[in-house]
Structure 1
Amino acid sequence: MNLLDKFIEHAEENIENGYYNIRSKAVGPKSSLVQRIRSQGFVVISEIKHASPSGEYSFDEMDVESSAMTFMKSGADAISVVVEPKIFKGNILDVPLAKKTGLPVLFKDFIIERKQIEAARNVGADAILLIVKVAKKLELDLDELIAIAHENELEVVLESYDEDEMKIALGTKADVLGINNRDLDTLKIDIERTKRILEHVGRINRPVISESGIRNAADVAFVRSAGASGVLVGTAIWRSEDIGEKIKELRGGAK
């Protein structure tokens, strides 16, 4: 079983075990990730991630609310919350804690069915991540999943890994397109992937976020010059000595 199969298997188990049974619906204003990108031109999305899938780090004790506030005060434009509980040690209830910042919050998970999308809405997320590779593997209807998200007032970040997947993504109504520089089968990272895909597909009329492998301001500047509208960064922040200073450094590459 490769890593992607393991991620999908865990998602199915989490659904069956009731992890997404969030009955109460969050109240409060929505924050649009798309509008944030348009207003800023380029965004840094900082990630709440309790563990790295490659085992680079793991935080059993993390003050999510305090960390999210540090993100906001240090210049993050949005917050991604990894809620997958087994490999990434996430917690779905981290989402409302991140929402206290007032920043757009991305619900990041391996989403394969409606129940997960409704849970994202119920905990107050503003956007969800969908993954083309997962949809292809399970023969899911991406258009249907995106429509369900929009019905639940959620924006969609649709993640691709290669040129063919990006072409699929471009044919959907996803609000933001993501490029994952990490191979979900091997976990190997190559930030040149963002540049290759954008050069191959040409002009894109939607925001593009470069995900994974962004380590410093130079990497941010590189993907921005390649045409990305933002970066999503987790591991580099959590491996740094000062998460606030790291975010400020990353923002420096966005200028």
Structure 2
Amino acid sequence: MAAPFIDALLGAERPVIMELKPRSAEGEELFRGRSSAEIVARYEAARAPCLSVVTGRWFGGDTALLAEVTERTELPVLQKDFITNAGQLRTASELGASAVLLTAALLPRAALARLAERALALGLTPFIEVANAVEIEALPECEGCVVAVNNKDIRVRERGVADLDRSRRLLPAVQRTGTPCPVSASGIDDPRTAARLLTAGYAGLLVGTQLLRAGRLETWCEELDGLRPAAPPTRRAG
């Protein structure tokens, strides 16, 4: 089965998932009077391979925002929320999402495996979020999944400073899961950090707050491009 989200990210020259999130963890308004359509257009102009839409209430999101975004773009879209049941997966599919967040810290091993299997059956890519080695060891078969290291702590609603060393420490374990697409997510503020993570072996990054704050998104992207060694994009076999 085709996996548009993974294929788009692995085939991207600049593999940055660009996120729409109405509020930061600290309550800062991030849309700043811009509509979702304006932000989508901005991200498309920056050649985003995929988008992420936060529908969780912590960050001011809802499923109406997801519907607005998927109606306005052909890019694969990740729904970021605490998905815990099959009904939420069906809703995500109906609203046009291509991938769904599954948080290992919140889901027992068997439930995570069932939801990942069901997501794949619906044509959704499981975007499995982990924060430590124990969670990685408990993951189901990850061949058709993204495995993403969250650099922030969901126990404090992702407030505070990101632990970017977490991504560096956990990358070998993530790669051993069999995922074709390891991702580092959250707290990636500057292009230099982004470049280091990609050079270390991450196939993609998820960046939200900093891109929404950026006065000129193109400058952030151009700086990232200048810091990365020239290399052809990775493509999936088959």
TM (norm. structure 2) is: 0.83
1:74–1:247 contact (8 Å) kept in structure 2 = yes
Which amino acid counterpart does residue 46 of structure 2 have in structure 1?
Answer: S
Residue equivalent to 2:61: 90
Residue equivalent to 1:234: 208
Residue equivalent to 1:43: 15
Return the alpha-carbon distance in structure 1 between the equivalents of residues 226 and 119 of structure 2.
33
1:128–1:156 contact (8 Å) kept in structure 2 = yes
SS class of match (1:51)? coil
Change beyond 3 A, Cα 1:71–1:254: farther
How many pairs were matched up? 223
Determine which of 106, 114, 120 is the counterpart of 1:144: 114
Indicate whether 1:219 and 2:190 are aligned. no
SS class of match (2:152)? coil
SS class of match (2:154)? coil
Indicate whether 1:78 and 2:34 are aligned. no
Return the alpha-carbon distance in structure 2 between the equivalents of residues 108 and 249 of structure 1.
27
Query: 1:57: Cα distance to partner?
Result: 3.9
Return the alpha-carbon distance in structure 2 between the equivalents of residues 204 and 103 of structure 1.
26
SS class of match (1:135)? coil
Return the alpha-carbon distance in structure 1 between the equivalents of residues 154 and 226 of structure 2.
29
Return the alpha-carbon distance in structure 2 between the equivalents of residues 184 and 213 of structure 1.
12
In the TM superposition, 1:59-208 aligns within 5 A as 59=31, 61-84=33-56, 86-99=57-70, 100-136=72-108, 141-169=111-139, 171-172=141-142, 174-186=144-156, 187=158, 188-200=161-173, 203=176, 205=178, 206-208=180-182
Gapped regions of structure 2 (runs ≥ 5): 230-238
Query: 1:140: Cα distance to partner?
Result: 6.0
SS class of match (1:237)? helix
Change beyond 3 A, Cα 1:218–1:179: same
Query: 1:60: Cα distance to partner?
Result: 6.7
2:55–2:63 contact (8 Å) kept in structure 1 = yes
Change beyond 3 A, Cα 1:234–1:202: closer
Measured against aligned partners, the alpha-carbon deviations of 1:117-165 in whole angstroms (never above 9, x if no partner) come to 11101110111110100114xx761111112212221111101001111
1:220–1:253 contact (8 Å) kept in structure 2 = no
Indicate whether 1:246 and 2:203 are aligned. no
Query: 1:42: Cα distance to partner?
Result: 5.7
1:167–1:201 contact (8 Å) kept in structure 2 = no
Query: 1:53: Cα distance to partner?
Result: 1.6
1:146–1:173 contact (8 Å) kept in structure 2 = no
Query: 1:76: Cα distance to partner?
Result: 1.2
Measured against aligned partners, the alpha-carbon deviations of 1:86-128 in whole angstroms (never above 9, x if no partner) come to 3211131222332322111101101111121111011101111
Change beyond 3 A, Cα 1:147–1:171: closer
Greater mean alpha carbon deviation, residues 90-99 or residues 199-208: 199-208
SS class of match (2:101)? strand
Q: What root-mean-square deviation, in Å, do the aligned CA atoms of Structure 1 and Structure 2 show? A: 2.4
SS class of match (2:18)? strand
Residue equivalent to 1:5: none
2:15–2:204 contact (8 Å) kept in structure 1 = yes
Change beyond 3 A, Cα 1:243–1:195: same
Gapped regions of structure 1 (runs ≥ 5): 1-29
Return the alpha-carbon distance in structure 2 between the equivalents of residues 116 and 153 of structure 1.
14
